[in-house]
Amino acid sequence: MPSESGSNRRPESGAFFQRDRTWHPPALTPGYKSSVLRSPQKALLSFDNTLSEIAGPVFGHAMLGELDNDLIHNFARPGESAIGERIIVHGRVLDERGVGVPGVLIEFWQANAGGRYRHKKDGYLAPLDPNFGGCGRTITGEDGGYAFRTVKPGPYPWPNGPNDWRPAHIHFSVFGHGFAQRLITQMYFEGDPLIWKCPIVRGIADKAAIEALTAILDKQATVPMDALAYKFDIVLRGRRSSLFENRLEGN
């Protein structure tokens, strides 16, 4: 499909995968209290990227620190490590045709093993771990692959209903090849019974979409006597797109 005159959208090439806009949860999901004020009340408008958003300088591998992909150690005192179940999270960033996308900056942040964030607004009584900061980043390789080490985050209560708990989860931010290309989602853990009780997750009607946000235990990738492993692929768009919080699929 040729690009529109004056548009900076790249033309489609190859097979076209029709988007299904109906499966994304509505922005207004009253069971998730924050969505009442956050959800847009007027029709959305799409804007093309500006030239500086496309051509401006972005990240590179040079910006990564040695421990950016190791949350077990990147905030820990020398010789110490974070408390919790040691895990590896890995997977691939894929386009709509299942092809790996290289050079994608992935950032991740999470609560510690007790379910507490290192954030001044987090008042949960679970203690902070002095050796755990809770954030890191990495860049996908040639095949779209990524991996990082961390501890499994704990579930935590949140002021939504009288007794709502978030399942264990890791937040992900995915940057494309410009800073205007940012997608945000959350990863859950296979077998967690809280997934199906979470008001945020329950805003998603499609069970398959929830399962696509759930990392599976990957015994093959575990490190004996060290770390379990979970596999989580992120699909940027198309029929099997991951659900992203900050963008209706296809917009």
Per the annotation, the verdict on 202 as an active-site residue is: no
Chain mean position to CA 119: 19
Task: Name the active-site residue from 137, 149, 166, 188.
Answer: 166
Task: Name the active-site residue from 90, 92, 117, 149.
Answer: 117
* 55, two tokens: 């051509």
Contacts of 157 (CB under 8 A, 6+ apart): 115, 124, 163, 164, 165, 166
**109, amino acid identity:** W
Per the annotation, the verdict on 171 as an active-site residue is: yes
Task: Name the active-site residue from 146, 156, 188, 230.
Answer: 156
* Angle, vertex CA 107, rays to CA 105 and CA 111, nearest 5: 170
Per the annotation, the verdict on 24 as an active-site residue is: no
Per the annotation, the verdict on 156 as an active-site residue is: yes
How many whole angstroms separate alpha carbon 123 and alpha carbon 19?
41
Phi and psi (nearest 5°) for 205? -75, -30
Per the annotation, the verdict on 124 as an active-site residue is: no
Task: Name the active-site residue from 116, 169, 188, 230.
Answer: 169
* 202, two tokens: 């329950």
Task: Name the active-site residue from 19, 73, 118, 171.
Answer: 171
Distances (CA, A) of 146 to 71, 92, 199, 242: 14, 6, 29, 16
**Catalytic (active-site) positions:** 117, 156, 166, 169, 171
